[in-house]
Structure 1
Amino acid sequence: MGSLEEEKLLEMVHDFIESSDSINSSSSLLSHNLYNSSTSQKYVHSSTTYFTLQEILRKKTEVEKEILDKVVKHMKNKMDMEKTNGLKQWLVKCLKFDGFRASLCYTSWLTTPSCPCGNYEYIEIMKEDHAKGGSKRVIVDIDFKSQFEVARPTQSYTKLSNKLPMIFVGYEDKLNRIISILCSAAEDSLKEKGLHIPPWRRASYMQSKWKLSSPTHYNKYSKNNSNDNNNNNNDDNNYRHSRLEKWVPQNVTVKGRRRELGGGRGSGLSNQFSNLSINCC
Protein backbone atom coordinates (compact mmCIF):
# COMPACT_ATOMS: atom_id res chain seq x y z
CA MET A 1 0.00 0.00 0.00
CA GLY A 2 1.40 3.38 -1.00
CA SER A 3 2.04 6.19 1.43
CA LEU A 4 -0.78 8.25 -0.11
CA GLU A 5 -3.34 5.51 0.43
CA GLU A 6 -2.13 4.99 4.00
CA GLU A 7 -2.54 8.68 4.73
CA LYS A 8 -6.13 8.63 3.35
CA LEU A 9 -6.97 5.56 5.43
CA LEU A 10 -5.58 7.14 8.61
CA GLU A 11 -7.51 10.31 7.85
CA MET A 12 -10.77 8.32 7.47
CA VAL A 13 -10.17 6.50 10.76
CA HIS A 14 -9.42 9.78 12.51
CA ASP A 15 -12.58 11.40 11.10
CA PHE A 16 -14.63 8.38 12.20
CA ILE A 17 -13.27 8.55 15.75
CA GLU A 18 -13.93 12.28 15.99
CA SER A 19 -17.44 11.77 14.63
CA SER A 20 -18.15 9.05 17.21
CA ASP A 21 -16.80 11.21 20.03
CA SER A 22 -18.99 14.07 18.87
CA ILE A 23 -22.10 11.88 18.81
CA ASN A 24 -21.34 10.44 22.24
CA SER A 25 -20.67 13.91 23.58
CA SER A 26 -23.95 15.22 22.16
CA SER A 27 -25.86 12.27 23.55
CA SER A 28 -24.27 12.71 26.97
CA LEU A 29 -25.01 16.43 26.91
CA LEU A 30 -28.64 15.77 25.94
CA SER A 31 -29.07 13.21 28.74
CA HIS A 32 -27.47 15.61 31.19
CA ASN A 33 -29.80 18.42 30.11
CA LEU A 34 -32.86 16.17 30.37
CA TYR A 35 -31.82 15.05 33.84
CA ASN A 36 -31.24 18.61 34.94
CA SER A 37 -34.61 19.64 33.48
CA SER A 38 -36.41 16.84 35.32
CA THR A 39 -34.61 17.60 38.57
CA SER A 40 -35.36 21.29 38.16
CA GLN A 41 -39.06 20.60 37.60
CA LYS A 42 -39.22 18.41 40.72
CA TYR A 43 -37.48 21.10 42.74
CA VAL A 44 -39.85 23.82 41.51
CA HIS A 45 -42.88 21.61 42.20
CA SER A 46 -41.75 20.68 45.73
CA SER A 47 -40.86 24.29 46.52
CA THR A 48 -44.25 25.52 45.28
CA THR A 49 -46.03 22.87 47.34
CA TYR A 50 -44.00 23.76 50.43
CA PHE A 51 -44.75 27.48 50.22
CA THR A 52 -48.43 26.79 49.50
CA LEU A 53 -48.68 24.68 52.65
CA GLN A 54 -46.76 27.29 54.60
CA GLU A 55 -49.23 29.98 53.51
CA ILE A 56 -52.26 27.83 54.44
CA LEU A 57 -50.86 27.19 57.91
CA ARG A 58 -49.84 30.81 58.40
CA LYS A 59 -53.29 32.25 57.76
CA LYS A 60 -55.55 31.97 60.81
CA THR A 61 -58.91 33.53 61.57
CA GLU A 62 -59.48 35.26 64.91
CA VAL A 63 -61.55 32.28 66.03
CA GLU A 64 -58.77 29.84 65.16
CA LYS A 65 -56.19 31.97 66.97
CA GLU A 66 -58.35 32.20 70.07
CA ILE A 67 -58.96 28.46 70.27
CA LEU A 68 -55.32 27.59 69.48
CA ASP A 69 -54.07 29.89 72.25
CA LYS A 70 -56.33 28.15 74.77
CA VAL A 71 -55.40 24.64 73.60
CA VAL A 72 -51.65 25.39 73.71
CA LYS A 73 -52.06 26.90 77.18
CA HIS A 74 -53.78 23.77 78.52
CA MET A 75 -51.39 21.37 76.73
CA LYS A 76 -48.23 23.26 77.65
CA ASN A 77 -46.99 20.67 80.13
CA LYS A 78 -48.62 17.67 78.44
CA MET A 79 -47.10 17.72 74.95
CA ASP A 80 -44.96 14.63 75.61
CA MET A 81 -47.82 12.63 77.08
CA GLU A 82 -49.55 9.88 75.12
CA LYS A 83 -52.60 11.28 73.34
CA THR A 84 -55.12 9.03 75.09
CA ASN A 85 -58.89 9.25 75.28
CA GLY A 86 -58.57 10.45 78.88
CA LEU A 87 -56.31 13.35 77.89
CA LYS A 88 -58.74 14.42 75.17
CA GLN A 89 -61.68 14.26 77.58
CA TRP A 90 -59.74 16.41 80.02
CA LEU A 91 -59.00 18.96 77.29
CA VAL A 92 -62.68 19.06 76.28
CA LYS A 93 -63.64 19.92 79.87
CA CYS A 94 -61.02 22.68 79.95
CA LEU A 95 -62.33 24.15 76.68
CA LYS A 96 -65.90 24.01 77.97
CA PHE A 97 -64.77 25.84 81.09
CA ASP A 98 -63.32 28.49 78.73
CA GLY A 99 -66.79 28.92 77.23
CA PHE A 100 -66.43 26.87 74.01
CA ARG A 101 -69.02 24.38 72.74
CA ALA A 102 -66.52 21.53 72.67
CA SER A 103 -67.18 17.84 72.04
CA LEU A 104 -65.07 14.70 71.90
CA CYS A 105 -66.00 13.02 68.61
CA TYR A 106 -65.45 9.45 67.52
CA THR A 107 -65.71 8.74 63.80
CA SER A 108 -66.15 5.30 62.29
CA TRP A 109 -66.62 4.39 58.64
CA LEU A 110 -67.34 1.28 56.63
CA THR A 111 -65.17 -0.29 53.95
CA THR A 112 -65.69 0.91 50.39
CA PRO A 113 -63.85 -0.05 47.16
CA SER A 114 -61.55 2.96 47.61
CA CYS A 115 -61.37 3.22 51.39
CA PRO A 116 -60.88 0.56 54.09
CA CYS A 117 -62.84 0.76 57.33
CA GLY A 118 -61.38 2.60 60.29
CA ASN A 119 -62.06 4.88 63.22
CA TYR A 120 -60.60 8.00 64.76
CA GLU A 121 -61.04 10.39 67.67
CA TYR A 122 -60.72 14.17 67.70
CA ILE A 123 -62.16 17.29 69.32
CA GLU A 124 -64.79 19.46 67.67
CA ILE A 125 -65.82 23.00 68.58
CA MET A 126 -68.98 24.57 67.15
CA LYS A 127 -68.82 28.30 66.41
CA GLU A 128 -71.64 30.53 65.29
CA ASP A 129 -71.45 31.66 61.68
CA HIS A 130 -73.12 35.07 61.77
CA ALA A 131 -72.53 35.70 58.05
CA LYS A 132 -74.31 32.57 56.81
CA GLY A 133 -76.28 31.66 59.89
CA GLY A 134 -76.00 28.40 61.80
CA SER A 135 -72.73 26.97 63.11
CA LYS A 136 -69.39 25.89 61.66
CA ARG A 137 -67.09 23.15 62.90
CA VAL A 138 -63.59 23.90 64.11
CA ILE A 139 -61.41 20.79 64.22
CA VAL A 140 -58.97 20.40 67.12
CA ASP A 141 -56.44 17.56 66.82
CA ILE A 142 -53.66 17.25 69.40
CA ASP A 143 -51.81 14.51 67.49
CA PHE A 144 -52.10 15.91 63.97
CA LYS A 145 -48.59 15.65 62.57
CA SER A 146 -48.22 11.90 63.20
CA GLN A 147 -51.23 11.15 60.98
CA PHE A 148 -49.16 11.93 57.86
CA GLU A 149 -46.10 9.76 58.50
CA VAL A 150 -45.04 7.48 55.62
CA ALA A 151 -42.40 4.79 55.21
CA ARG A 152 -39.00 5.80 53.84
CA PRO A 153 -40.01 9.40 53.02
CA THR A 154 -38.11 11.41 50.44
CA GLN A 155 -36.27 14.53 51.48
CA SER A 156 -38.94 16.79 49.97
CA TYR A 157 -41.76 14.97 51.77
CA THR A 158 -39.88 15.05 55.07
CA LYS A 159 -39.45 18.80 54.69
CA LEU A 160 -43.14 19.17 53.90
CA SER A 161 -44.45 16.99 56.74
CA ASN A 162 -42.11 18.64 59.25
CA LYS A 163 -43.95 21.87 58.55
CA LEU A 164 -47.15 20.39 60.01
CA PRO A 165 -47.98 21.35 63.60
CA MET A 166 -48.44 18.72 66.29
CA ILE A 167 -51.64 20.51 67.36
CA PHE A 168 -54.02 21.51 64.58
CA VAL A 169 -56.86 23.99 65.00
CA GLY A 170 -58.82 24.99 61.93
CA TYR A 171 -62.01 24.98 59.93
CA GLU A 172 -62.93 22.10 57.63
CA ASP A 173 -61.93 23.85 54.40
CA LYS A 174 -58.39 24.46 55.71
CA LEU A 175 -58.05 20.84 56.80
CA ASN A 176 -59.25 19.60 53.42
CA ARG A 177 -56.61 21.66 51.61
CA ILE A 178 -53.85 20.33 53.86
CA ILE A 179 -54.98 16.74 53.32
CA SER A 180 -55.02 17.24 49.55
CA ILE A 181 -51.45 18.59 49.52
CA LEU A 182 -49.96 16.02 51.91
CA CYS A 183 -51.65 12.97 50.37
CA SER A 184 -50.53 13.96 46.88
CA ALA A 185 -46.97 14.49 48.14
CA ALA A 186 -47.09 11.17 50.02
CA GLU A 187 -48.03 9.32 46.83
CA ASP A 188 -45.13 10.95 44.98
CA SER A 189 -42.76 10.02 47.81
CA LEU A 190 -43.86 6.38 47.90
CA LYS A 191 -43.67 6.07 44.10
CA GLU A 192 -40.17 7.53 44.03
CA LYS A 193 -39.07 4.96 46.62
CA GLY A 194 -40.73 2.15 44.65
CA LEU A 195 -43.24 1.42 47.42
CA HIS A 196 -46.91 0.50 47.19
CA ILE A 197 -49.40 3.27 48.01
CA PRO A 198 -51.65 1.90 50.78
CA PRO A 199 -55.32 2.99 50.78
CA TRP A 200 -54.93 4.58 54.21
CA ARG A 201 -52.56 7.12 52.70
CA ARG A 202 -55.13 8.39 50.19
CA ALA A 203 -57.21 11.54 50.66
CA SER A 204 -60.55 9.70 51.00
CA TYR A 205 -59.30 7.75 54.01
CA MET A 206 -57.74 10.79 55.67
CA GLN A 207 -60.90 12.87 55.16
CA SER A 208 -62.95 10.16 56.85
CA LYS A 209 -60.96 10.61 60.05
CA TRP A 210 -62.37 14.08 60.59
CA LYS A 211 -65.75 13.45 58.93
CA LEU A 212 -65.02 15.77 56.03
CA SER A 213 -66.43 14.36 52.81
CA SER A 214 -67.09 10.62 52.66
CA PRO A 215 -70.84 9.80 52.69
CA THR A 216 -70.18 6.49 54.42
CA HIS A 217 -68.75 7.88 57.63
CA TYR A 218 -70.74 8.98 60.62
CA ASN A 219 -70.22 10.54 64.01
CA LYS A 220 -70.73 7.66 66.41
CA TYR A 221 -70.77 9.76 69.54
CA SER A 222 -69.68 13.00 71.06
CA LYS A 223 -70.20 14.43 74.47
CA ASN A 224 -73.44 16.29 74.84
CA ASN A 225 -72.91 20.04 74.79
CA SER A 226 -76.44 21.37 74.32
CA ASN A 227 -76.77 22.44 77.95
CA ASP A 228 -73.21 22.94 79.11
CA ASN A 229 -74.11 24.93 82.19
CA ASN A 230 -76.49 22.28 83.51
CA ASN A 231 -74.81 19.08 82.38
CA ASN A 232 -71.11 19.53 83.10
CA ASN A 233 -71.30 16.82 85.77
CA ASN A 234 -72.73 14.29 83.32
CA ASP A 235 -70.30 14.78 80.42
CA ASP A 236 -68.97 11.22 80.48
CA ASN A 237 -72.45 9.67 80.33
CA ASN A 238 -74.15 11.84 77.74
CA TYR A 239 -73.69 11.08 74.05
CA ARG A 240 -75.39 12.32 70.96
CA HIS A 241 -75.84 10.33 67.76
CA SER A 242 -75.77 12.05 64.39
CA ARG A 243 -75.61 11.31 60.66
CA LEU A 244 -77.00 7.81 61.11
CA GLU A 245 -79.31 7.03 58.23
CA LYS A 246 -82.36 4.91 58.96
CA TRP A 247 -82.63 1.86 56.74
CA VAL A 248 -85.94 1.65 54.89
CA PRO A 249 -86.81 -1.60 53.06
CA GLN A 250 -87.76 -1.37 49.42
CA ASN A 251 -91.35 -1.93 48.39
CA VAL A 252 -91.98 -5.51 47.31
CA THR A 253 -93.81 -5.84 44.01
CA VAL A 254 -96.41 -8.56 44.16
CA LYS A 255 -96.44 -10.75 41.07
CA GLY A 256 -98.99 -13.47 40.59
CA ARG A 257 -101.46 -14.70 43.20
CA ARG A 258 -100.84 -14.49 46.91
CA ARG A 259 -101.71 -17.46 49.04
CA GLU A 260 -103.16 -16.58 52.44
CA LEU A 261 -101.49 -18.17 55.42
CA GLY A 262 -103.94 -19.75 57.82
CA GLY A 263 -106.92 -18.55 55.83
CA GLY A 264 -106.07 -14.98 56.66
CA ARG A 265 -106.77 -15.58 60.34
CA GLY A 266 -103.16 -15.97 61.51
CA SER A 267 -101.24 -13.81 63.94
CA GLY A 268 -100.10 -10.31 63.10
CA LEU A 269 -96.65 -11.65 62.23
CA SER A 270 -98.17 -14.32 59.99
CA ASN A 271 -100.24 -11.71 58.21
CA GLN A 272 -97.10 -9.64 57.59
CA PHE A 273 -95.35 -12.65 56.05
CA SER A 274 -98.41 -13.33 53.94
CA ASN A 275 -98.08 -9.91 52.32
CA LEU A 276 -94.63 -10.77 50.90
CA SER A 277 -93.92 -12.63 47.69
CA ILE A 278 -90.89 -13.35 45.53
CA ASN A 279 -90.54 -12.31 41.90
CA CYS A 280 -89.86 -15.37 39.79
CA CYS A 281 -88.58 -15.52 36.26
Structure 2
Amino acid sequence: MGSLEEEQLVQMVYDFIESESPSSTSSSSSENQPLHHQSAYLTLQELLGTVKDSEFHILEKVLKYLRNITAGKVANLNKWIVMRLRMDGYDASLCKTSWATTCNCPGGDYEYIDIVMEDENGGPLRLIIDIDFKSQFELARPTPTYAQLSDILPSIFVGSEDKLNEIISLLCTAAKQSLKESGLHIPPWRTTSYMQSKWLSECQKVPITPFMTFSRDFDRTNKEGNNSGHSSNSSKWAPPIVKPKSKDLGSGSGLSSQFSKMSIDCC
Protein backbone atom coordinates (compact mmCIF):
# COMPACT_ATOMS: atom_id res chain seq x y z
CA MET A 1 0.00 0.00 0.00
CA GLY A 2 1.42 3.36 -0.99
CA SER A 3 1.95 6.18 1.46
CA LEU A 4 -0.77 8.28 -0.19
CA GLU A 5 -3.33 5.49 0.17
CA GLU A 6 -2.31 4.94 3.80
CA GLU A 7 -2.81 8.64 4.54
CA GLN A 8 -6.23 8.58 2.89
CA LEU A 9 -7.24 5.50 4.88
CA VAL A 10 -6.11 7.00 8.19
CA GLN A 11 -7.98 10.20 7.34
CA MET A 12 -11.07 8.11 6.61
CA VAL A 13 -10.89 6.59 10.10
CA TYR A 14 -10.52 10.02 11.68
CA ASP A 15 -13.46 11.29 9.64
CA PHE A 16 -15.52 8.30 10.79
CA ILE A 17 -14.70 8.92 14.45
CA GLU A 18 -15.46 12.62 14.11
CA SER A 19 -18.74 11.95 12.31
CA GLU A 20 -19.80 9.61 15.11
CA SER A 21 -18.73 12.01 17.85
CA PRO A 22 -21.18 14.56 19.28
CA SER A 23 -21.52 17.93 17.61
CA SER A 24 -21.13 21.22 19.42
CA THR A 25 -24.90 21.75 19.24
CA SER A 26 -25.68 18.50 21.06
CA SER A 27 -22.93 19.20 23.59
CA SER A 28 -24.33 22.61 24.43
CA SER A 29 -27.89 21.28 24.64
CA SER A 30 -26.76 18.63 27.12
CA GLU A 31 -25.74 21.42 29.49
CA ASN A 32 -29.41 22.34 29.83
CA GLN A 33 -30.26 18.82 30.99
CA PRO A 34 -30.34 17.63 34.62
CA LEU A 35 -27.03 17.05 36.37
CA HIS A 36 -27.28 13.25 36.27
CA HIS A 37 -27.76 13.36 32.50
CA GLN A 38 -24.78 15.66 32.06
CA SER A 39 -22.67 13.19 34.02
CA ALA A 40 -23.84 10.25 31.89
CA TYR A 41 -23.28 12.21 28.69
CA LEU A 42 -19.73 13.20 29.63
CA THR A 43 -18.92 9.65 30.76
CA LEU A 44 -20.12 8.18 27.46
CA GLN A 45 -18.30 10.87 25.52
CA GLU A 46 -15.07 10.02 27.33
CA LEU A 47 -15.54 6.27 26.78
CA LEU A 48 -16.07 6.66 23.06
CA GLY A 49 -13.33 9.26 22.69
CA THR A 50 -10.69 7.04 24.27
CA VAL A 51 -9.51 4.88 21.36
CA LYS A 52 -6.45 2.67 21.81
CA ASP A 53 -4.01 1.97 18.99
CA SER A 54 -5.24 -1.61 18.62
CA GLU A 55 -8.87 -0.47 18.35
CA PHE A 56 -7.96 2.23 15.85
CA HIS A 57 -6.00 -0.24 13.72
CA ILE A 58 -8.82 -2.82 13.58
CA LEU A 59 -11.40 -0.13 12.84
CA GLU A 60 -9.15 1.04 10.02
CA LYS A 61 -9.13 -2.48 8.56
CA VAL A 62 -12.90 -2.94 8.82
CA LEU A 63 -13.61 0.41 7.17
CA LYS A 64 -11.20 -0.49 4.38
CA TYR A 65 -13.01 -3.79 3.77
CA LEU A 66 -16.41 -2.12 3.73
CA ARG A 67 -15.17 0.61 1.41
CA ASN A 68 -14.04 -1.93 -1.20
CA ILE A 69 -17.06 -4.22 -0.96
CA THR A 70 -19.36 -4.65 -3.95
CA ALA A 71 -23.00 -4.07 -3.08
CA GLY A 72 -25.10 -7.23 -3.08
CA LYS A 73 -22.11 -9.57 -3.50
CA VAL A 74 -21.80 -10.72 0.14
CA ALA A 75 -24.50 -12.89 1.70
CA ASN A 76 -23.16 -12.74 5.28
CA LEU A 77 -21.17 -9.60 6.00
CA ASN A 78 -19.86 -10.79 9.38
CA LYS A 79 -18.44 -13.99 7.85
CA TRP A 80 -16.88 -12.03 5.02
CA ILE A 81 -15.16 -9.62 7.41
CA VAL A 82 -13.84 -12.54 9.49
CA MET A 83 -12.38 -14.11 6.34
CA ARG A 84 -10.71 -10.84 5.35
CA LEU A 85 -9.24 -10.38 8.83
CA ARG A 86 -7.88 -13.93 8.79
CA MET A 87 -6.34 -13.36 5.38
CA ASP A 88 -4.55 -10.36 6.92
CA GLY A 89 -3.17 -12.55 9.71
CA TYR A 90 -5.58 -11.81 12.57
CA ASP A 91 -7.03 -14.38 14.97
CA ALA A 92 -10.63 -13.43 14.15
CA SER A 93 -13.74 -15.49 14.83
CA LEU A 94 -17.46 -15.31 14.22
CA CYS A 95 -19.09 -15.57 17.65
CA LYS A 96 -22.65 -16.63 18.35
CA THR A 97 -24.26 -16.24 21.75
CA SER A 98 -27.41 -18.06 22.79
CA TRP A 99 -29.05 -17.89 26.19
CA ALA A 100 -32.07 -19.51 27.78
CA THR A 101 -35.09 -17.68 29.18
CA THR A 102 -35.02 -16.79 32.86
CA CYS A 103 -37.47 -14.96 35.10
CA ASN A 104 -35.65 -11.66 34.48
CA CYS A 105 -34.39 -12.13 30.94
CA PRO A 106 -35.99 -13.67 27.84
CA GLY A 107 -33.96 -16.06 25.73
CA GLY A 108 -32.32 -15.02 22.51
CA ASP A 109 -29.25 -15.25 20.32
CA TYR A 110 -26.83 -12.82 18.70
CA GLU A 111 -23.85 -12.75 16.37
CA TYR A 112 -20.72 -10.60 16.36
CA ILE A 113 -16.98 -10.74 15.60
CA ASP A 114 -14.06 -10.96 17.99
CA ILE A 115 -10.28 -10.76 17.64
CA VAL A 116 -7.75 -12.15 20.10
CA MET A 117 -4.44 -10.30 20.04
CA GLU A 118 -1.70 -9.00 22.32
CA ASP A 119 -2.10 -5.81 24.28
CA GLU A 120 0.59 -3.20 24.82
CA ASN A 121 2.12 -5.28 27.63
CA GLY A 122 2.16 -8.53 25.66
CA GLY A 123 -0.87 -9.99 27.42
CA PRO A 124 -4.01 -11.39 25.76
CA LEU A 125 -6.54 -8.84 24.52
CA ARG A 126 -10.00 -9.62 23.17
CA LEU A 127 -11.64 -6.99 20.99
CA ILE A 128 -15.31 -7.13 20.05
CA ILE A 129 -16.44 -5.90 16.63
CA ASP A 130 -20.07 -5.10 15.89
CA ILE A 131 -20.93 -3.54 12.53
CA ASP A 132 -24.54 -2.82 13.57
CA PHE A 133 -23.94 -1.51 17.07
CA LYS A 134 -25.93 1.71 17.20
CA SER A 135 -29.24 0.18 16.15
CA GLN A 136 -29.16 -2.22 19.12
CA PHE A 137 -29.96 0.69 21.46
CA GLU A 138 -32.85 2.24 19.56
CA LEU A 139 -35.99 3.06 21.54
CA ALA A 140 -39.55 3.86 20.59
CA ARG A 141 -40.44 7.47 21.39
CA PRO A 142 -37.13 8.31 23.09
CA THR A 143 -36.87 11.37 25.27
CA PRO A 144 -34.49 14.14 24.12
CA THR A 145 -32.16 13.10 26.92
CA TYR A 146 -31.86 9.52 25.68
CA ALA A 147 -31.75 10.60 22.04
CA GLN A 148 -28.66 12.70 22.75
CA LEU A 149 -26.93 9.72 24.33
CA SER A 150 -27.81 7.21 21.62
CA ASP A 151 -26.94 9.65 18.83
CA ILE A 152 -23.26 9.66 19.76
CA LEU A 153 -22.98 5.85 19.68
CA PRO A 154 -20.87 4.59 16.76
CA SER A 155 -22.50 2.52 14.05
CA ILE A 156 -19.41 0.25 14.11
CA PHE A 157 -18.06 -0.67 17.53
CA VAL A 158 -14.51 -1.90 18.13
CA GLY A 159 -13.48 -2.20 21.75
CA SER A 160 -12.77 -4.35 24.78
CA GLU A 161 -15.32 -6.21 26.88
CA ASP A 162 -14.85 -3.79 29.79
CA LYS A 163 -15.48 -0.79 27.58
CA LEU A 164 -18.57 -2.41 26.08
CA ASN A 165 -19.94 -3.34 29.50
CA GLU A 166 -19.67 0.26 30.70
CA ILE A 167 -21.52 1.50 27.61
CA ILE A 168 -24.28 -1.09 28.09
CA SER A 169 -24.81 -0.20 31.75
CA LEU A 170 -24.92 3.50 31.01
CA LEU A 171 -27.31 3.25 28.04
CA CYS A 172 -29.66 0.75 29.69
CA THR A 173 -30.01 2.97 32.76
CA ALA A 174 -30.81 5.92 30.50
CA ALA A 175 -33.25 3.80 28.47
CA LYS A 176 -35.12 2.78 31.62
CA GLN A 177 -35.49 6.42 32.64
CA SER A 178 -36.57 7.43 29.13
CA LEU A 179 -39.30 4.79 28.95
CA LYS A 180 -40.62 5.73 32.38
CA GLU A 181 -40.84 9.40 31.43
CA SER A 182 -42.67 8.45 28.22
CA GLY A 183 -45.14 6.31 30.17
CA LEU A 184 -44.05 3.14 28.38
CA HIS A 185 -43.45 -0.32 29.76
CA ILE A 186 -39.80 -1.37 29.90
CA PRO A 187 -39.44 -4.30 27.48
CA PRO A 188 -37.27 -7.17 28.74
CA TRP A 189 -35.03 -6.92 25.65
CA ARG A 190 -33.92 -3.46 26.78
CA THR A 191 -32.78 -4.54 30.23
CA THR A 192 -29.11 -4.59 31.19
CA SER A 193 -29.03 -8.38 31.59
CA TYR A 194 -30.47 -8.95 28.12
CA MET A 195 -28.09 -6.52 26.42
CA GLN A 196 -25.10 -7.97 28.27
CA SER A 197 -26.11 -11.46 27.13
CA LYS A 198 -25.69 -10.40 23.50
CA TRP A 199 -21.96 -9.77 23.73
CA LEU A 200 -20.75 -10.85 27.17
CA SER A 201 -22.35 -14.26 27.70
CA GLU A 202 -20.58 -17.49 26.77
CA CYS A 203 -20.18 -17.65 23.01
CA GLN A 204 -19.68 -20.38 20.44
CA LYS A 205 -17.13 -20.00 17.67
CA VAL A 206 -18.83 -20.57 14.33
CA PRO A 207 -16.67 -22.59 11.89
CA ILE A 208 -16.10 -20.81 8.60
CA THR A 209 -15.13 -22.59 5.39
CA PRO A 210 -12.52 -20.71 3.37
CA PHE A 211 -14.93 -20.34 0.46
CA MET A 212 -13.16 -17.29 -0.94
CA THR A 213 -9.95 -19.21 -1.73
CA PHE A 214 -11.96 -22.00 -3.35
CA SER A 215 -13.90 -19.48 -5.41
CA ARG A 216 -10.73 -17.85 -6.71
CA ASP A 217 -9.22 -21.21 -7.67
CA PHE A 218 -12.46 -22.25 -9.34
CA ASP A 219 -12.67 -19.04 -11.36
CA ARG A 220 -9.02 -19.30 -12.37
CA THR A 221 -9.54 -22.88 -13.55
CA ASN A 222 -12.53 -21.86 -15.64
CA LYS A 223 -10.60 -19.00 -17.22
CA GLU A 224 -7.71 -21.27 -18.12
CA GLY A 225 -10.13 -23.73 -19.69
CA ASN A 226 -11.83 -21.02 -21.71
CA ASN A 227 -8.52 -19.55 -22.88
CA SER A 228 -7.40 -22.93 -24.21
CA GLY A 229 -10.23 -22.82 -26.74
CA HIS A 230 -12.18 -25.79 -25.36
CA SER A 231 -15.70 -25.26 -24.16
CA SER A 232 -17.01 -27.49 -21.40
CA ASN A 233 -20.42 -27.62 -23.10
CA SER A 234 -19.15 -28.55 -26.57
CA SER A 235 -16.94 -31.44 -25.48
CA LYS A 236 -18.78 -34.76 -25.09
CA TRP A 237 -17.62 -37.73 -23.13
CA ALA A 238 -16.53 -40.74 -25.14
CA PRO A 239 -15.45 -44.13 -23.85
CA PRO A 240 -11.73 -44.80 -24.10
CA ILE A 241 -10.53 -46.88 -27.02
CA VAL A 242 -9.32 -50.20 -25.72
CA LYS A 243 -6.80 -51.94 -27.95
CA PRO A 244 -6.34 -55.69 -27.55
CA LYS A 245 -2.94 -56.70 -26.41
CA SER A 246 -0.90 -58.20 -29.22
CA LYS A 247 0.69 -61.55 -28.57
CA ASP A 248 3.51 -63.02 -30.59
CA LEU A 249 2.23 -66.44 -31.66
CA GLY A 250 4.75 -67.03 -34.41
CA SER A 251 3.36 -68.56 -37.62
CA GLY A 252 0.35 -69.98 -35.81
CA SER A 253 -1.02 -70.87 -32.46
CA GLY A 254 -0.18 -74.12 -30.73
CA LEU A 255 -3.79 -75.31 -30.98
CA SER A 256 -3.98 -74.78 -34.75
CA SER A 257 -0.71 -76.65 -35.20
CA GLN A 258 -2.09 -79.64 -33.31
CA PHE A 259 -5.24 -79.68 -35.48
CA SER A 260 -3.08 -79.54 -38.62
CA LYS A 261 -0.98 -82.45 -37.42
CA MET A 262 -4.09 -84.47 -36.57
CA SER A 263 -5.48 -83.93 -40.05
CA ILE A 264 -2.25 -85.14 -41.61
CA ASP A 265 -2.17 -88.27 -39.46
CA CYS A 266 -5.78 -89.05 -40.26
CA CYS A 267 -5.08 -88.90 -43.93
TM-score band, normalised by shorter chain = 0.5 to 0.7
Which residue matches 1:104?
94
Cα deviation digits, residues 191-219 of structure 1 (max 9, x gap): 00010111110111101101x2xxxx432
Offset at residue 132 of structure 1 (A): 7.3
Offset at residue 188 of structure 1 (A): 0.5
Q: Equivalents in 2 of 1:103, 1:63: separation in Å? A: 17
Which residue matches 1:220?
204
Matched, 1:44 2:35: yes
- Work out whether residues 114 and 126 of structure 2, in 8 Å CA contact, stay in contact via their aligned partners in 1: yes
Which residue matches 1:60?
51
State how many pairs are aligned.
Answer: 184
Cα deviation digits, residues 55-81 of structure 1 (max 9, x gap): 100101111111111111111266998
TM-score (normalised: structure 1): 0.59
RMSD: 2.9
Offset at residue 137 of structure 1 (A): 1.4
Q: Equivalents in 2 of 1:221, 1:125: separation in Å? A: 12
Q: Equivalents in 1 of 2:72, 2:212: separation in Å? A: 26
Offset at residue 187 of structure 1 (A): 0.3
Q: Equivalents in 2 of 1:51, 1:125: separation in Å? A: 28
Q: Equivalents in 2 of 1:233, 1:143: separation in Å? A: 24
Aligned ranges for residues 70-219 of structure 1 at < 5 Å? Answer: 70-76=61-67, 86-129=76-119, 131=121, 133=123, 135-210=124-199, 212=200, 217-219=201-203
Match of 1:76, SS state, is helix
Given the superposition, is the C-alpha separation of residues 234 and 79 from structure 1 closer, same or farther in structure 2, using an over 3 Å criterion? Answer: closer
Given the superposition, is the C-alpha separation of residues 80 and 201 from structure 1 closer, same or farther in structure 2, using an over 3 Å criterion? Answer: farther
Given the superposition, is the C-alpha separation of residues 175 and 219 from structure 1 closer, same or farther in structure 2, using an over 3 Å criterion? Answer: same
Given the superposition, is the C-alpha separation of residues 69 and 234 from structure 1 closer, same or farther in structure 2, using an over 3 Å criterion? Answer: closer
Match of 1:204, SS state, is helix
- Structure with the greater relative contact order (CA < 8 A, sep ≥ 6): 1 or 2? 2
Q: Equivalents in 1 of 2:32, 2:128: separation in Å? A: 35
Offset at residue 139 of structure 1 (A): 0.2
TM-score (normalised: structure 2): 0.62
Can you give the 5+ residue segments of structure 1 that lack an aligned partner in the other structure? 1-39, 225-230, 237-281
Offset at residue 233 of structure 1 (A): 5.8
Percent identical: 52
Given the superposition, is the C-alpha separation of residues 79 and 68 from structure 1 closer, same or farther in structure 2, using an over 3 Å criterion? Answer: farther
Can you give the 5+ residue segments of structure 2 that lack an aligned partner in the other structure? 1-30, 215-267
Offset at residue 222 of structure 1 (A): 2.4
Match of 1:57, SS state, is helix
Offset at residue 127 of structure 1 (A): 1.2
- Structure 1 segments, 4+ long, off by >3 Å, are 77-82, 129-133, 231-236
Match of 1:194, SS state, is coil
- Work out whether residues 64 and 169 of structure 1, in 8 Å CA contact, stay in contact via their aligned partners in 2: yes
Given the superposition, is the C-alpha separation of residues 85 and 125 from structure 1 closer, same or farther in structure 2, using an over 3 Å criterion? Answer: farther
Given the superposition, is the C-alpha separation of residues 122 and 189 from structure 1 closer, same or farther in structure 2, using an over 3 Å criterion? Answer: same
- Work out whether residues 93 and 205 of structure 2, in 8 Å CA contact, stay in contact via their aligned partners in 1: no
The residue type paired with residue 186 of structure 1 is A
Offset at residue 177 of structure 1 (A): 0.4
Q: Equivalents in 2 of 1:222, 1:234: separation in Å? A: 17
Offset at residue 130 of structure 1 (A): 6.7
The residue type paired with residue 47 of structure 1 is Q
Q: Equivalents in 2 of 1:154, 1:186: separation in Å? A: 9
Given the superposition, is the C-alpha separation of residues 193 and 223 from structure 1 closer, same or farther in structure 2, using an over 3 Å criterion? Answer: same
